[in-house]
Amino acid sequence: MSPGLTTSASSQVRRRSAAILAVALLLVELVAACQSYLTSTITPLMASDLDAKDGYGVLMAATQAAMFLTMPLGAGLLSRWPAARMLAWLTPVVVLGGVVSALAPTFTVFLAGRVLASLAAGALMTVSLSALATALPPHWRRMTLAGYALVWLVASLVGPVYAGWASAVIGWRWALVVYLPLFLVARAVVIVRLRELDQAEQTSPQRLALAPATVLAAGITLVSLAGSSWGRNLLAVAGAVAVLAAAARILPTGTQGRRALVLIIGVLSGAYFGAHAIVAITAHDLLGRDAGSLAVLLGAGGVGWAVLGMICGRWPARSRRAYVRRVTGGALLLAVGAATMGTATLPGFPGAWPLLVLGWTVSGVGMGLCYVDTLNRGLDTPQVPDGIDTHQAAQALVMSEVIATALAGTLTASALAWIMGAPADRAGYAMVVYGILALLSLTLVPLSRRG
């Protein structure tokens, strides 16, 4: 066989492997997304069965702290072992955590299982994104990242139905493990294909950021305490300061190039997910809409993000100027969407409900216009080395998104809870919350010129 034919055959094999890996990654994401809906559904059933109705706060704080404890360790671990091996080690930990929770005779054992799974999940977030960046060709990577938005849209439709069926028909214990065979098959395919395709090279072992990770986990726990009392809110503020201080130790510093992109993904996530945390509450508690209306509202925003994400994945911004134009357009749409939703909260405003749906849909379109391109530019290796390897870039992007989401979501939800508990003449203050999110969105315009 001639060298040309051999090269062609090898190229076809790699393309086929890349396609299989992309599909397997999307399947893993779909299973995880549906399982997130299931976890929300079975929690009150578990609490009733194990007499743990006073344990909701502990469960949320402990699992969130566990995830944030291991998330900053991903790049350091990947500098020691390849992604396929890390997935092979961490996946059984997730499975073991699910099994422990399913068999739990007490709430303490259930909590231990959830914490165990969350410890593995935190590290897996960085490992999975790094693997996607180092194993898939740029075109497949862009389409897979865009496909994640579509996966979550499908999950938003299928997830609640699956969660309701599983909880009612097979019970919460079986519901925690019934998905595991499909999860394990998809993850096994990912591991096998990664061993074939992963082009990452192990460098000298990087320092494991154990101290900042501990501070980050403790800070996030304090942030989750935000509530209606001054004492809880002061603890939450202290937690937010600790989170930002720890993030400054872990994330790459600077406001140019890929460092700016890490900041952009954080601001983008804060603006969008800050609104996501309160848009359903706004519809239900301020506008009096029912569960069916909430599904329409959330679905409209999800469709906007998914459609624009797929379009941007298929036709990415090829130049810096094109990227700046997209982020500028997305920032303006996010700002307009937030302002529109804020207007809908004004007492007695005519057409408030369709205005809220329109605003959230526009916000989803704005997010879709920015998100995939920003992730891809952050994962691309620049022509001029910037001292950040792919694993570090993936970890920084993941952490920036998750930290911003946690902080902004807690802040906006706490603010809206205070507004709803305030006298009726303060109801218009909800517009201020959305107005702040609109202003935050506009900061993306100057930031995009640094990315």
pLDDT value, residue 5: 45
Per the domain annotation, does 239 fall within a domain? Answer: no
pLDDT value, residue 9: 54
* Joined tokens for residue 313: 């994945």
Per the domain annotation, does 2 fall within a domain? Answer: no
Q: Is 12 exposed, middle or buried (0-12, 13-18, 19+ CB in 10 A)?
A: exposed
CB 135, CB 83: distance < 8 Å: yes
Q: Would residue 256 be called left, alpha or beta, if left means φ above 0 and alpha means ψ between -120 and 50 degrees? A: beta
- In angstroms, rounded to a whole number, what is the distance separating the alpha carbons of residues 58 and 359? 35
Closest CA to 22 of 119, 122, 150: 150
Task: Please report which helix (H) or strand (E) contains residue 193, including its range.
Answer: helix 180-197
**pLDDT tens-digit series, residues 400-423:** 988 888 888 878 887 777 777 665
pLDDT value, residue 99: 94
What is the model's pTM? 0.82
Distances (CA, A) of 268 to 150, 184, 223, 232, 393: 19, 33, 20, 27, 17
Instruction: Please tell me whether residue 347 adopts helix, strand or coil conformation.
Output: coil
- In angstroms, rounded to a whole number, what is the distance separating the alpha carbons of residues 4 and 177? 49
**pLDDT tens-digit series, residues 348-404:** 888 899 999 999 999 999 999 999 899 888 887 777 776 777 777 888 888 898 888
Same domain assignment for residues 390 and 289 = yes
Residues of the chain with pLDDT under 70: 1-11, 13, 40, 54, 56-57, 160, 198-205, 227-228, 254-256, 386, 421-427, 451
Same domain assignment for residues 120 and 266 = no
Same domain assignment for residues 103 and 182 = yes
Same domain assignment for residues 269 and 191 = no
Per the domain annotation, does 214 fall within a domain? Answer: no
Same domain assignment for residues 332 and 440 = yes
Same domain assignment for residues 165 and 311 = no
- Maximum distance among all Cα pairs of the chain, rounded to whole angstroms: 82
Same domain assignment for residues 167 and 299 = no
Question: How many domains does one find in the chain?
Answer: 2
Per the domain annotation, does 43 fall within a domain? Answer: yes
Same domain assignment for residues 17 and 136 = yes
CB 402, CB 124: distance < 8 Å: no
- In angstroms, rounded to a whole number, what is the distance separating the alpha carbons of residues 372 and 191? 24
Same domain assignment for residues 138 and 65 = yes
CB neighbours of 288 closer than 8 A, spacing ≥ 6? none
Per the domain annotation, does 282 fall within a domain? Answer: yes
Per the domain annotation, does 342 fall within a domain? Answer: yes
Residue with tokens 């497949």: 140
Per the domain annotation, does 48 fall within a domain? Answer: yes
CB 28, CB 147: distance < 8 Å: no
What CATH number corresponds to the domain at position 176?
1.20.1250.20
Same domain assignment for residues 342 and 432 = yes
Domain boundary among 196, 211, 246: 196
Kindly report the CA angle at 407 between 406 and 409, in degrees rounded to 5? 65
CB neighbours of 198 closer than 8 A, spacing ≥ 6? 82, 83, 84, 131, 134, 135
Radius of gyration of the chain (CA): 22
Q: How many helices (H) and strands (E) does the chain have?
A: 17, 0
Distances (CA, A) of 210 to 303, 344, 380: 39, 45, 27
Domain boundary among 145, 177, 196: 196
Same domain assignment for residues 311 and 397 = yes
Residue 372 amino acid letter: V
Domain boundary among 146, 178, 196: 196
What range defines the domain where residue 334 resides?
A: 255-451
| Phi then psi dihedrals of residue 318, to 5 deg | -80, -20
- In angstroms, rounded to a whole number, what is the distance separating the alpha carbons of residues 75 and 114? 23
Same domain assignment for residues 276 and 164 = no
Per the domain annotation, does 381 fall within a domain? Answer: yes
